[in-house]
Each structure stands twice: as structure tokens, then as C-alpha cells.
Amino acid sequence: MTPERAALLGELLAELAEDPKGFIPDAAWAPAQKAFALPYIELAFVRRSSKGELQALLSHRTDVDWNGWHLPGGLWRTKQTLEEAIAALSRREIGLLEPSKILAKGEWEKWHDHPYGYPVSHVVILQSDHIVESDTVRWFTDLPGDMIDDHGHHQQFFNNVKRQVTRDRLV
């Protein structure tokens, strides 16, 4: 990279850092994912069913690359606190408008086999009495057969959350 291009990259990154929403434009999104390990939050909402079974909330997507059930979540924007990110992702992913209770801040995992780049996922275990089930948002006791094809990461998140909740008696 020439010094001129390095200076331009520095200017563009500084401009991005000043954006209050931390928004990465579409044209820069794919290269950014390849160049940086971006932080993501996985929202692991849990509850006990009427039978006492531990359940986790999954949302369903039908995107080309993400087709199936998964833990809701998304990119943790640069200027957001953890609580702000949870609230924004909860609204966008599952339509939750009420605040949720953080039960535990779970594991971090850097995906080395992600199809786009190298995200770092932070799993947060949450509880809310305000979640409404729909065709795309449902509680599960066991993993559904049509989980997203992500090399098993969301299946691992689901199982690890259930183990941690049981071990630490979170609900």
C-alpha cells in the first residue's frame, strides 16, 4: 500500500469512527469484514416452560446466506454500550421494545471459518417477560433441525447457553 493510499484509508477510518451510529456503508462492508475481527452480540434469551424445561429463543431468517433458525443478534456498533446494543438488536431481531434483564455475560468466540470474515461473538444470556412468539421468533427446548448452516456455531452457542444456565441456576 502506498503512503498516499494509507493516508486515505486513515482518513476514511477516522470518518467512520466519528459517525455516531458507527455505520459501515454497504460498499465497504465486505472488505471491512475481511480486514477486521468485528464484534457481534448473540442474544441468548432463556426461560423455563410451564413444564419446567429450559428453553432458548431462536429467530428465523431466510437470507441467501443465513437461512434457518439461529440465536438473534448482530453487529455491536462502535459507539454503543452493551445495554444499547442489546436494546437495538432486540428491537431489530425480535421486535422486543421492553428492556431485558442480563443474567450473564457469556463466552467470546472468534470464528475462523465464517463465510464473510472473522467476527468475534459475545453471547449474552438474557431474560424478558415481553417476548411475543411468531412464525420467525420461537422458544425451543431442543435444537430444531433447520438451524442456519454456520459450521455449528449457533448450535454450539445454544448448547453452551443451556449448560451455563443449568450450571449457574440462572432461571
**3-state SS, residue 88:** helix
Residue 38 and residue 34: Cα distance in Å, rounded?
9
Say which CATH number the domain at 55 has.
Answer: 3.90.79.10
- For residue 112, what is the DSSP state? S
Q: Give the global pTM.
A: 0.84
**Is residue 28 one of the residues assigned to a domain?**
no
pLDDT at 105: 87
Q: Which domain holds residue 45?
A: 35-168
**Is residue 5 one of the residues assigned to a domain?**
no
**Is residue 12 one of the residues assigned to a domain?**
no
pLDDT along the chain (171 residues), means of 10: 93 84 78 83 94 95 85 88 94 92 81 72 92 95 87 84 92 91
**Which residues 6+ apart lie within 8 Å of 21 measured at CB?**
77, 79
pLDDT at 96: 93
